[in-house]
Amino acid sequence: MYRNIYIFFAWICVGAAFLGIFLPLLPTTPFLLLAVYLYMRSSKSGIKMILRNRYLALYVHSYFAREGIPGPILKRTLVTLWCSMAVCIALFHGRLPVQIMLFAIAAGVSIHLYCRRNGRKPARKENGRRKIRRKDLPHS
């Protein structure tokens, strides 16, 4: 019974993560990590599905291999962050303290993401794809 519940919620997390690729304020990686955790408790084929997906695998591989945030994802995230914050700052026209706070939050998040850009040394590559070692995966 729990297995089916885990699979159901894992699919919801995968769907939310996939939407997060295209929607700026919906986080992708946390939903994928939660889906991996739920699949670890229920279905190994679900983990394989995520790791073989050409859109979702990049987020999970980079996290488990401790490589940091990949360059294209970092660029897209920063552009989305600053566009979203520019709209929010414009909506709060005339409220200088709120605008300063929003700018400070965007700057702080940008610095944090940029510092997380480079993780540890990259995982070994095999046939042009990153190889995730067993020790890089979470334990069940």
Burial class (CB within 10 angstroms; exposed 0-12, middle 13-18, buried 19+) of 109: middle
DSSP letter assigned to residue 134 = G
Label the pairing between strands 129-130 and 125-126.
antiparallel
pLDDT in tens, 39-72: 888 888 888 888 888 877 877 777 677 666 777 7
pTM of the model: 0.55
Answer whether residue 1 shows pLDDT above 50.
Answer: yes
Secondary structure of 54-122 as H, E, C letters: CCCHHHHHHHHCCCCCCHHHHHHHHHHHHHHHHHHHHHCCCCHHHHHHHHHHHHHHHHHHHHCCCCCCC
| DSSP reduced 3-state for 125 | strand
State the chain's mean pLDDT as an integer: 77
Distance linking the first and last C-alpha atoms of the chain:
19
Answer whether residue 140 shows pLDDT above 50.
Answer: no
- Residue 100 CA neighbour count, 13 Å, CB half: 3
Answer whether residue 132 shows pLDDT above 50.
Answer: yes
pLDDT in tens, 78-124: 888 888 889 888 988 888 998 999 899 888 888 877 776 655 444 45
